[in-house]
Amino acid sequence: MASSLGASLLLVYPLSASAYQVRSGDSLWSISSRYGVTVSSLIAANGLSGDSLLQIGQHLTIPEHGTSAAVSYHGPTTAYTVQSGDTLWDIAGRYGTSVAALMSVNDLGSNNLQIGQVLRVPGRTSHPPAATASPASVTAPPEVSRGLGPLGRTIGYAMKLQGVPYRWGGTTPAGFDCSGFVQYVFREAGINLPRDTWEQYTVGVPVAKDQLRRGDLVFFNTEGPITHDGIYIGNGEFISATSSDGVAVRNINDGYWGPRYAGGRRL
């Protein structure tokens, strides 16, 4: 729920690190996903602030502890043509890879896709997964359309964290705040989200409430604009770190959360 940028700036990183030159379309989030590091670590390693604007040609230091294996991937790839409604998260889950790997192998600067765009997917697949066989299999039913692969395992992992106590600024199973919980769970699937709730609200693409699918991020106005978020798990329910009951499942339309709903985002 609260930003940890101030605390992150106190971290010290190894001197040995990678260098990256900012290109058109880059953002701190897209670069962090490409190299498997967090936005906060990029900010700290480069002496930036949370509202820093990147300049084309700017040189950034990538902390060494990032998982940059995907950047140097030289194994087999499968060609995939982007279809209407596709997101990097959908494609990654369908092929059993990660968003970071897709962005790295295809040298993507953002998570925006174009219909007809051809992507290289890490790994070898002899035929398209069943989920791409027809439009119907991609879209129905909404509650289980992304229930397999990394996403399904991630939601299962999130559910195992029920009962973990709430802790302001918490980012581990010892205690979570809302955005710390979301960031922690998605990291299990290879997705490095920003730390702050508002920053997480800027990731991905907007999705209407009646079009929510499992794994979408959902946001609420509790103590002000966009001050709480969680993970949609289907059937009108979401899981989040609440100040009253810790990590818990709630209905998105109940008497408390319904009036405070602010929007959904799909990665």
DSSP string, the chain: ----HHHHTT----S-EEEEE--TT--HHHHHHHHT--HHHHHHHHT--TTPPP-TT-EEEEETTS-GGGGG--S-EEEEE--TT--HHHHHHHHT--HHHHHHHTT-SSS---TT-EEEEES--SS--GGGSSHHHHHS-TTTTT-SHHHHHHHHHHHHTTTPPB-TT-EETTEE-HHHHHHHHHHTTT----SSHHHHHTSSEEE-GGG--TT-EEEE-SSSTT-EEEEEEETTEEEEEETTTEEEEEETTSTTHHHHEEEEEE-
Q: What amino acid is encoded at 193 in this protein?
A: L
- pLDDT-derived band at 23, boundaries 50, 70, 90: confident
Tokens of 183: 């960031």
The mean predicted confidence, pLDDT, of the chain is 75
Shared domain check, 256 and 173? yes
**Residue 125's CB: how many other CB atoms inside 10 A?**
15
Residue 150: what pLDDT? 55
**Residue 117's CB: how many other CB atoms inside 10 A?**
14
Residue 81 clears pLDDT 80, i.e. is over it: yes
Tokens of 146: 């992304």
Under a CB-based contact definition with an 8 Å cutoff, are residues 137 and 85 in contact?
A: no
Return the percentage of the chain with pLDDT > 90, whole number: 31
Shared domain check, 166 and 114? no
Residue 170: what pLDDT? 92
Give residue-wise pLDDT tens across range 197-252. 999 998 888 999 999 999 999 999 998 889 999 999 999 999 999 999 999 999 99
Report, as an integer, the average pLDDT of 33-40.
70
Residue 3: what pLDDT? 40
Residue 76 belongs to what domain range?
70-129
Whether omega before 63 lies within 30 degrees of 0, making that bond cis, reads no
Shared domain check, 184 and 110? no
Shared domain check, 215 and 108? no
Residue 75 clears pLDDT 80, i.e. is over it: no
Q: With respect to residue 91, please indicate whether it lies within any of the assigned structural domains.
A: yes
Shared domain check, 156 and 262? yes
Q: With respect to residue 172, please indicate whether it lies within any of the assigned structural domains.
A: yes
Shared domain check, 92 and 188? no
Residue 17: what pLDDT? 53
Please tell me the least confidently modeled range out of 4-18, 42-56, 83-97, 213-227.
Answer: 4-18
Q: What amino acid is encoded at 29 in this protein?
A: W
CATH number at residue 247: 3.90.1720.10
Pick from 12-16, 79-83, 140-144, 238-242 the range whose average pLDDT is largest: 238-242
Residue 232: what pLDDT? 95
- pLDDT-derived band at 152, boundaries 50, 70, 90: low
Q: With respect to residue 245, please indicate whether it lies within any of the assigned structural domains.
A: yes
Shared domain check, 176 and 119? no
Q: With respect to residue 114, please indicate whether it lies within any of the assigned structural domains.
A: yes
Rounded distance, CA 46 to CA 60, Å? 6
Q: Which long-range contacts (CB under 8 A, 24 or more apart) does 252-261 make?
A: 252/209, 252/212, 252/218, 257/220, 260/220, 260/221, 260/222, 260/228, 261/209, 261/218, 261/219, 261/220
Under a CB-based contact definition with an 8 Å cutoff, are residues 22 and 60 in contact?
A: yes
Residue 66 clears pLDDT 80, i.e. is over it: no
Give the predicted TM-score (pTM) of the model.
Answer: 0.52
Q: What amino acid is encoded at 119 in this protein?
A: L
Return the percentage of the chain with pLDDT > 70, whole number: 70
CATH number at residue 42: 3.10.350.10
Give residue-wise pLDDT tens across range 160-172. 899 999 999 999 8
Please tell me the least confidently modeled range out of 178-187, 188-197, 247-256.
Answer: 188-197
Residue 129 clears pLDDT 50, i.e. is over it: no
Shared domain check, 97 and 171? no
Residue 177: what pLDDT? 95
**Residue 106's CB: how many other CB atoms inside 10 A?**
18
Residue 9: what pLDDT? 30
Rounded distance, CA 194 to CA 175, Å? 18
Q: How many domains are contained in the chain?
A: 3
Report, as an integer, the average pLDDT of 108-113.
71
- pLDDT-derived band at 65, boundaries 50, 70, 90: low
